[in-house]
Every structure is written in structure tokens, then in C-alpha cells.
Structure 1
């Protein structure tokens, strides 16, 4: 059927949780109601990436980009654009105030510096329709792998591409495959690590939700290259939408002869099973992940031997994360040299980041390696919310360091981030402003690591608890300057002695903040002051009697009833005061006062 229009609606988890499915159904209902259902195809896609302005609806061929769409807007979109042929101006994305409305995606600041390789199909195709993936050159590279290239040629193409593992370590993908290829044994396994556990990270989830076949094609290619006939996707049970779309994609691939016995008549067998993870962060580590698939408690084991030699059930195994595998079909289709032209000398290709925190344009960002932090935060991300001052950015999730304003022009690649005390990680990027306290942030991530440590090795089990205890001490106003030395000593020892990457990298937020924000730690220790007001034991609220107009707004909001009027004044409306002994330091009075009379001291 020939359609005059195509409407793409965001079907990622973020938009779905914000009535995205209602928008989709309402568009269909209104198209039927107005008799234009044969003129427009309405498709639910994956994430568009611009999560800050979701739900998003895109109309083709006009390339109209509608943001912050609500279910009640569906009727107007159909009536105006589909029936009358004119856009709905109030829903169009608008850039800076002095600019005209931007409708074309390439004109939107958020997308201008992005290069979508991994996310090439997200927001473009229906992820539940294999035909749409195939129409976008899907499984074209696999044809070469099955019928034209030897396994060695496939691995060589991966080498030419320069692709390094996107799970965090940055190990050359071709080398891992080559080790497994050469390892003795007739039974080998391919595992997709979709156990994304970093706070604020959702790159892998969105990739599977928006383009599951890219991961499947990558796994089949890896299987052919190393001589494996069985793959497993280890995915968090907390990702129901991604799991459902992955199941649909696997079933469709099987029906099309792309999975199972004698794929496309090539004589090569390969199939994929899904294994659900229970949410243990440590299972992102490859040996712990393997133990979990085997039905054991997810705990890391010493290496060597490495999984490429002895992995799942003691058989040669390669483990690549979602983003790594989603790159593979592009490499096999366009050639490794094509990807190698993107990025830097030692970090080829692009990287997907979940840009979150105190940023105007939060969302999923894919940029060439070598893009600077400043470009991502202030150009793609639009800068800091509310005109606040930038303080720092954490890359690499709970295992990453916090980088300062002085490092904003740092190019993002594997080696440069490590050199500056952070890491690429799987791609979380959390922006902080002047209202964030680095001691509080370090405590938050250390609490996370204490909870997620499997406890197998003492450097991690004891070290994380010790670091947390010292950070609690400093945040409570009882720290000493000697505690800073202890933080560094324990952190460095953990980095060297811990069994797996969780313990080795857990000190990074603490070590980086002690190094880059030492004066703020000293304020907590010497002055008993938290400049951001996050460490409650160091915060005190006072009411300026001269500014207080006696409205009582603060008193009404106080849950502790510790704000009372000052007696014995000659004012008609006596000012209020706070009893410091009863104060919970919740800050409700500070929020309630419209006259600046309540201050943090």
C-alpha cells in the first residue's frame, strides 16, 4: 500500500512510561475516525535519543519533529497534518529563542554533532518488524560472513575497524575473537552482555528496544568467526520491554532462516537463548556473568584462564556487550576501514552515552570518539539547567572519576579518560552543578559499591566499607586531614589488589574528588561546612529577622514544628525563628520562603 505520510512515535521505555503508547493508539484511532487510515502508516519505533523532550512524534515526508507530545495532541496532528497538509506549530521543536522553529532533525542542536552508527535504526524502524531492519541493509553483512569470507577474514575486518569493547575495558574486539577462534574445542559460546547496571545508564536497553536485530546479527557473525553454534543474551530482568522485543526478533530471525540449523543454506548452525539476570551489578563482570548463566551465584573468578580459553561450562567463550555487537553489522557491511575513519588513532568509531544529571538536554547521545566533554555538555546537551555553574562530570558510572571544568576540552577516548582519573565505562555521563557536593556524591557511589560487592575478595569487601565509613565521618563533620590520606591509601590498594573490576574501580569517584576537589573536602573537615548544603549534619538554617515579613510560610511547611514567632517585638507581624535543636534540616523552610529570609549557614 502506498502511503502519503508516515508517523513515527517513540516506543522506548522513557516515552512509554510517559503515555507514549496512548499517543500511538490515539493517532491510529483518529486516523480511522477521520477516514485517512489508508493514507498514513503509524509506526512505533525505538528511542529517538532526545529524552528530555519526549514523547516525540516525527512525521514524514515533511520531517516534522514534535516534542512533549500528549495523547490529546494526536487528534490535532492527524486533522492538521494528515488531512489538511499543514504542521502543528505549537508542537514543533523550537531551538534558541532568537531562532525560528526547527523541524528537520539535522537542524536541531542536540543532533548536529552526533554520528549515529549504533543507534542508526533507533527512532527510524519498527523494532518488531524484521522486514524494516532488512530494508535498512540488515543482515547484508552477514551474507558476506556466511558465503564470501573465511572466519579469519571476518576477524581481520574487525581488526581493520579498530573496534574496542564498549563494555568499559576497551579490549580489542578482534583479538578476543581470535583467541577464541584458536582455542581448542568443538563447543564454543557467544555471550551478549546486556546486564547494564550503572545508575543513570540505559544505552544497551535502548539499543535492544530500538534495534534488536543488530545485536542478533552481531552475535551470529561472532559465532561464525570463532566456530560457535550457541549464543546467550544475559539481560537484566528489569528490562521487560527490551526482553519482549528481543524475543520477537529472535523468533522472526528463526522464521526467516537466519537463526537455527543451516542458516540461509550456508551449512552453519547458530541459535540464541535469553538468560535473565537478577540485577547484581557484579554480574556485569564477565566471569561472574558466566557463573550466573551456569546457575551459580554470580561471583568473579581469578584470571587466567580467560573466558576465550575456558569460559561458560569450561568451553571457549567470548563476551561482548550490546553496543559492541551492534557495531558489527556495520563493519561487515561497509568494511572495517569505514568505521576506522571515525574517531581517534587508538579509539575508533563512535560511543553512545546516556547524558543525564543537571543538563538541559538529557538523553541518548552517540558521538565520534575524540569529541570533547565541552561539546557534549554545552553544545549537544545545551549546558547546565537553570543557569547554574558547571561543577563536574562523571563518566563511567559508579566506577568512573569526576572531571572538573579544567578538563572540559578533554577529548573522549579510552586512554585519555583513564589518564585523567576516570574511565569510559559502558557510557554513563552524569553532569553536576554548583549545588552538588562531591563528598556526598562520593558517598552515594561508595554506598552503591558496598551493596553490590559480592564479598568474595577482602580488598573490595573491606575496602569499600572502610572508604564509606571515612566518607560518612567527613560528611558528618568529624573528619580529619589524615582521613584524606587514608582514603587515598585504601583506594590505591583496592585498585591493585581487588579480584575484579568492581573492586579495582570502586575507589575512582573518591580518589578523583579528593584529587580534583580537595579544598571542598578541607571545608568539610576544617570549617565544618558543606557549601552545597547536601551534608545535613553540616547544614544549619537561620532566618534573617530583618528580611522576615512574618508571613509564616516557612512555619506551615516545617514538619518538625520548630519554627515559631519571635516574642516581644513591636512589629505587627513578628518575624519567625528556627529552633536549631529541633530542626531536621530538611530544607522545606528554605524552599517555602519567597523573600530570601531563610538562609543556609
Structure 2
């Protein structure tokens, strides 16, 4: 088909950004100067289309270099990849971190989600906007969770250029955030990952034991503390033996669905269609979640080793790590670990002399909560809008690029290392019979020591909050983030297991534990949750696209009303919530009503 790429021309900066990623164009069909040969034949079509998965990195390249994506820059990228501009425009406008309209080269993203809004983010944001007017050269954008909940309120400054520069201000004051945006290079160094681990140094830790002990940039230091012993055992066991060990350990996914990891790997490995892929989902965008960020920043070699083991088990030779765009330091740390592993023969061809080859690629997200859903993540990697796919077929049959794919999040994969290091029976002895092993919890809100905590499954919510130093006047605890549910202060004996929370009518989710005292206005909190889901809905299915809007509208109407005046809207909320739960394509719409429902039924909101 003929493609019309528009009349806009790329600037020299935009052309350089795309060429740095894709290499110089080889013909006029790709944007080079026209020669006589180009008049006789066309080159690049199928080969360029096979690189469709580079569309998202190409959009990042333009946005990073210039600060926004112009029509000319987008047209040049489309020409290089033979992608219809209409499709590429749909992708570029899907993500919150991209802009297709001119904006300043420096953008300050201020989090206004649950943990930050309760820590005064609205006041900080208003102060920043007052200080940074239209002529300041800095754009201010309010946005969802930045994954810095233990240091709320938080802001992330991004200055376009070659290279792009980023700096974090957290906890952010108006003056510090403005200074960070004005001079990202001069901003104070971000605290190390160990600052988010209040238990650091505890010898009983399993998943967090190396954070604060091992230099995250040193492969030698990692190996000196037990690194790569699990991979050697994996090679001794063979792929089937690794899957059997993971299955016997009872390891289940830590992203919230709790699907048995061994079953997923076995289903992927047994597929006759090849190649197979392994995808690490590091797009933890659930408000209140930051454990994967801490693991990637504090122990990146552990993730690389775990991905290597998982890929070996499912017979994959190419793996992807999809890291949310709001985690620039995690991207740098994991990329450095991949490069070091490759240079030392721990990635690439003939790993450890075992005849197995693997390479790992990083893909940066660009601000879309829905991309945490596995099939939406696959679409994003492939260069399409991050919209979920209908199932079946399931990813183990047709996943990334239509091939069998195993997808796991960071915490799940890192758990594979102790499974192989200590053996399945010893690992299964941790926790409970139905929820085995250790679990990471992200504690934030009205506590004195927010951070990532590691406890064995079966510990109670009260024990966790005691470690974090819950403040007086506790009103409610939100488990599982925006997609989770509230519990009351008299329910702190709740066992933190998948079955325990399910039996209690709530969810463990990905491990979010947000405490709220009686100074936090509950109606405003619920309205922010509704706004979050309305903003993050991909809009593909009607129940979610319309339902999240109706939910927000109803909550706005009753925010200042109590008792009988809110009864009709509460009835409407229940009807809309049931429709979203029953008919939405993916988990976003299916869980968008959970927190509001629990606040009404458990906390007695508006009654």
C-alpha cells in the first residue's frame, strides 16, 4: 500500500535522534538523499516492517532529544520503519510521557496520586505552578504515581537533550522541586535503594539481603555474595528440572493474580511453536507499589540472573525487560548489569560453557498503567497501542510476536534464586502451605518508617504495621493499591496470604499497604482513585471506558453529601461496578470498583 508521510520535515536534531537508534538511512525510501538507483527499485519494505517493535524506542528517542514529537519527526520515524503515520500517531498519543504538541524542553512531573496527595502534593503542586509561570521554560504536569511512595510527595524533572537528563525531588518542597527542574545536573544525588529498606542488614532477609550490602554496579561483588550459584544449579538440573523445582516450591506470581509459576513455565516450554520468549514485567504502575524499583536499583544482577534461569527453563533465547518510563535510574542500573553480564560471558553465546545462548533487551514504558496487563505489554513492545488482547489464546500459546511467551514480574523472578539456592522443600517451608516463600510489601501513608518490607507469608497486617510504625488515629488500610480494597483498624489480625485476604473479602494484590489516619479525607481519596481509573482506561471496551467515567461522576456528586442524599448515587455506583467487573476485557475495568465498594461496605462511607 502507498503511505503518505505528510509534508512536515524533521529537524536535524530529530533526524539525528532517529538515526542514532536505527542507523543511517540506506535509500531515499527511508529518508536519505535520492539517487538514480532509488528510481529503479524500492528497498527496505519488509525488513523495515520487521522492525516495527522499534517504534516505541523511536518515539522515546524523539521525545528525549527534543522534548516532544513533531509531525516531521514522527513522519521520518514512520518512513524509516514503514509504519503508517496514523498508526504511529495513535501510539504516540497513547502514552502520558509523550507529547505531540510543543512544550518546554524541561518538564517537571509532579505525582498527585494516593501516597503523595495525602502527604500534601496538591499544595506543593500549586506552589510549583505559581513559581514556574509560562515564561519559566519549565512545563509542570500533574500525573499518576511515580513509584516513590516512601518519599512522598515526589516530583521527577526531565530535561530533553543529548543525553536526556533526569532528576528526582522527593520528598519534594516547592523550592527543591523548582531548583531541580531548573538545574537537573546540579540536583542532589538520589538516595540509594537501601534507604527504602528499613530492615536492611537483617540476616533473616531472603530477597532483600543483598540491598545495601552489595555494590549494585559490581558484578564481582554480586558473585562474591552468592551471585550466579542459582544459574549453575539450573544448568545442572536442566530445563525440566528447573520447572519441577519451581513447581515443588509452590512459587506463584507476585503481581496479584497468584498464578503458579511452574505451570506457566511448563505450558510455555511444551509449545511446539518457536521461538519462545521471556518477558519481565517491570511496569509496576499500581499506586503505592515500588518494590520492583528497589530490587532493580539495589540488586540488578539478581534480576539478570533470574531472567537467564527463567529463559533457560522455557527454552527462550531472547528476553525483554519492560521498565516503566518513570524509573530512569532502574533503567540505567539494569542496562549496566546486562552489559556487564554480556561482557563476562554470562549473557550472549555459550553461557558458562553450557551451549545456551540468550540476550536481554530493555524496553522503556512511557506512562500507561494498562501496560502492566501482560497482553497490553506485548502490544506495547511490538509497537502498537498498549491495549489488552482477548483471551484465549493465552500468552503461553500466542504471546509476544504471536509466539509462546512466559511473563513474570520482577519479584516473582527474583524468588527463583532462593528456590534453586536452598531447594524446593526449604523454600516451601517458608510461609504457609498455600502461600509459600517470602513476600515483599510496599508500606506508605500514615506510618513513621515507610518502605519495602520482607515478611514470610502468614504474618499479620498488624505485625507489618508495627514494623513500619503506624501512627495514632488509624482510620483505614488500603491493601493492593487502587485496584485493591480497604480494611478497618479492627481487622489488623488479618493474615497476609493470598487465601487469608481472599477469605476476608479483600485482596493482597501486588503487596501495597497504605495506611490512612483520621486526618485524611476519605471522599477525596476515593475520588482520586476514580480519577486514576478514568485516566488510565485504554478505552477499548465499553464497560470500562464508560463505567470509569460514570463512577467518577457519581463520586463527585456525593463527595459533599452524606446519608439519604447519596443513596441514589451509591445504588448507581453498585450497578456500574457490577457491569465493569462482569464485562470488562481486562483487570483494570474488573477491579476499578473494588476500593470504592470496600469503602462503602467496610468503612461505611456516606452512611
* TM-score bin, normalised by smaller chain: 0.5 to 0.7
In structure 2, distance between residues paired with 1:19 and 1:452: 24
Query: 1:160 & 1:507 partners in 2: Cα distance?
Result: 36
CA distance in 1, matches of 2:377, 2:200: 39
| Stretches of structure 2 lacking an aligned partner (at least 5 in a row) | 1-146, 152-166, 172-190
Q: What is the deviation of 1:200?
A: 2.7
2:590 alignment counterpart: 504
Deviation at 1:19, TM superposition (A): 10
Higher mean C-alpha deviation, range 275-284 or range 469-478: 469-478
For residues 207 and 274 of structure 2, the distance between their equivalents in structure 1, rounded to whole angstroms, comes to: 32
By how many angstroms is 1:423 displaced? 1.9
Contact 1:421 1:508 in 2 (8 A): no
Question: Which SS does the other structure have where 2:320 is aligned?
Answer: strand
Q: TM-score, normalised by structure 1?
A: 0.68
Give CA deviations for 1:533-562 in whole Å, capped at 9, x if unaligned: xxxxxxxxxxxxxxxxxxxxxxxxxxxxxx
Q: Which residue of 2 aligns with 1:168?
A: 256
Quote the offset at 1:161 in angstroms. 1.0
Aligned counterparts of 2:237 and 2:514: Cα–Cα separation in 1? 42
Which string of whole-angstrom CA distances, capped at 9 and with x for unpartnered residues, describes residues 330-368 of structure 1?
Answer: 111211222111111111111111110011111111111
Separation (CA, whole Å) in 2 of partners of 1:465 and 1:220: 42
Asked if residue 268 in structure 1 is aligned to residue 356 in structure 2, the reply is: yes
Q: Aligned to 1:231, what secondary structure does the other structure show?
A: strand
Match of 1:225 among 275, 289, 313: 313
Distance (whole Å) between structure 1 residues aligned to residue 581 and residue 505 of structure 2? 12
Cα distance, 1:45 vs. partner?
Answer: 6.0
Is the Cα–Cα contact under 8 Å of residues 46 and 125 in structure 1 kept in the other structure?
Answer: no
Contact 1:438/1:517 (CA < 8 Å) preserved in 2?
Answer: no
Indicate if the aligned counterparts of 2:200 and 2:209 stay in contact, CA closer than 8 A. no
Give the 3 Å change call, closer, same or farther, for CA 333–50 of structure 1 in structure 2. closer
Query: For residue 466 of structure 1, what is the aligned residue in structure 2?
Result: 550
Which residue does 2:194 correspond to in 1?
Answer: 47
Contact 1:362–1:381 (CA under 8 A) maintained in structure 2: yes
Superposition map of 1:474-553 within 5 A: 474-477=558-561, 479-518=565-604, 520-522=605-607
Q: Cα RMSD (Å) of the superposition?
A: 2.1
Looking at structure 2, the residues matched to 222 and 499 of structure 1 have their Cα atoms a distance apart, in angstroms, of: 28
Count of equivalent residues: 424
Distance in 2 (alpha carbons) for counterparts of 1:116 and 1:424: 20
> Any conservation in 2 of the 1:145–1:332 contact (CA below 8 Å)?
yes
- Match of 2:259, SS state, is coil
1:196 is aligned, of 281, 284, 306, to 284
**CA–CA distance in 2 between the matches of 1:242 and 1:214?**
13
Please state whether the residue corresponding to 1:365 is helix, strand or coil: strand
- 1:136-181 CA distance string (max 9 Å, x none): 11111111212x2121111010011111101111101001001101
Say which of 234, 241, 247 aligns to 1:145. Answer: 234
State the shift of 1:422 in Å: 2.7
Native 8 Å contact 1:402 1:513 kept in 2:
yes
2:215 match:
126
Which structure 1 segments of 5+ residues have no match? 1-11, 21-43, 52-103, 523-601
Tell me, in whole angstroms, the C-alpha distance in 2 between the residues paired with 1:164 and 1:486: 36
Distance in 1, Cα, partners of 2:525 & 2:436? 32
Equivalent runs, 1:191-590 vs 2, <5 Å: 191-377=279-465, 379-384=466-471, 388-477=472-561, 479-518=565-604, 520-522=605-607
The alpha carbon displacement at 1:296 in A equals 0.3
Kept in 2: contact 1:138–1:329 (CA 8 A)? no
Deviation at 1:437, TM superposition (A): 3.0
Partner Cα distance (2:521, 2:603) in 1: 10
TM-score (norm 2): 0.67
Q: Secondary structure of 2:194's match?
A: coil
CA distance in 2, matches of 1:289, 1:105: 32
Question: How many angstroms does 1:17 deviate by?
Answer: 5.3
Cα deviations by residue, 1:484-508 (Å, 9 ceiling, x for unpaired):
2222222122112111011111111
| Offset of residue 198 of structure 1 | 1.7
Larger radius of gyration: 1
Q: Which has the higher helix share?
A: 2
Q: Tell me if structure 1 keeps the 8 A contact 2:566–2:606.
A: no
Shift of 1:184: 1.5
1:432 & 1:245 partners in 2: Cα distance?
33
Q: Distance in 2 between matches of 1:419 and 1:447?
A: 29
- Indicate if the aligned counterparts of 2:487 and 2:603 stay in contact, CA closer than 8 A: no
Residue by residue over 1:431-480, the C-alpha shift from the partner in whole angstroms, topping out at 9 and shown as x without a partner, is 01112233222211111000000011111111111111111111133843
- Cα–Cα, structure 1 residues 394 and 342, in superposed 2: closer, same or farther, change >3 Å? same
Aligned twin of 2:272: 184
Moved over 3 A (4+): 12-20, 48-51
Q: 2:225 aligns to what?
A: 136
